[in-house]
Amino acid sequence: MNHALLAACVGLLLTGCSTYQAVTPVDRLDPTDPVVAFQLPAGGGPLGNYGAHGTLLCVVVNPVSGNDFVEDFLSSLRRRNFDVKVLQAQTSIAACPMVALYTARSAWYWNTYLNNADITVFLNGDRVGKAIYNANRSAGGLNLSNFVQPSSKLDELVEQLFPGMLPPPPPADTAPAPAA
């Protein structure tokens, strides 16, 4: 009985700790679409033929919220083989075929952490994906989200927004170990 009560209390405490995170992933680009095919460079992107294949992704950073962790966000996109271009703050979403609007704020509680982020992706002017994260929308209780590294949280959001676009792992060394 005491174990069940303890488990229920811990469960209630942990559910009160959750942060708000919602992601609507972007569908994979269809290379047979003429507009998409026009964007894809021959032979893949700068890092090879995987992920986004060098697709141009223009990023518009919200100047009001500051540029918190923007380099971490851009780095995460580049690891997925996007050709990233940062545009002026008031640029239209029609400026590039694919545009990401990025807003993020930091906060401090013993260390700097990602307080909230909003990433909206547009393709040819239509919204095709969105990621929202808010560390302060927990239902109370113990909130440990301030101990998560901002770069890893942004990488998680980008992975959920553009699923399966990380580079393939390096091939395992199949050579036998030298005899001693």
Give residue 15's pLDDT: 47
147 pLDDT more than 60: yes
- Of 1-15, 63-77, 83-97, which range is least confident? 1-15
- Of 24-33, 40-49, 153-162, 167-176, which range is least confident? 40-49
- Of 29-43, 52-66, 121-135, 142-156, which range is least confident? 29-43
Q: Mean per-residue pLDDT for 149-172?
A: 81
Q: Model pTM greater than 0.85?
A: no
Under the banding of pLDDT at 50, 70 and 90, the label for residue 161 is very high
Place of tokens 């223009």: 58
